[in-house]
Amino acid sequence: MTYAVIFDMDGLLIESEPLWKEAERQVFSSVGVQVTDSLAEQTAAMTTRAVTEFWFSRNPWVGKSLDEVEDAEARRCVSHSGLIAAKRANIQAVAVPHPDEYHNEKFTVADLKLKSLSDFNDEHLMQLLR
Catalytic residues: 8, 10
CA 117/CA 125 separation, integer angstroms: 12
CA 115/CA 126 separation, integer angstroms: 18
Which residues lie closer than 8 Å to 121 by C-beta, 6 or more apart? none
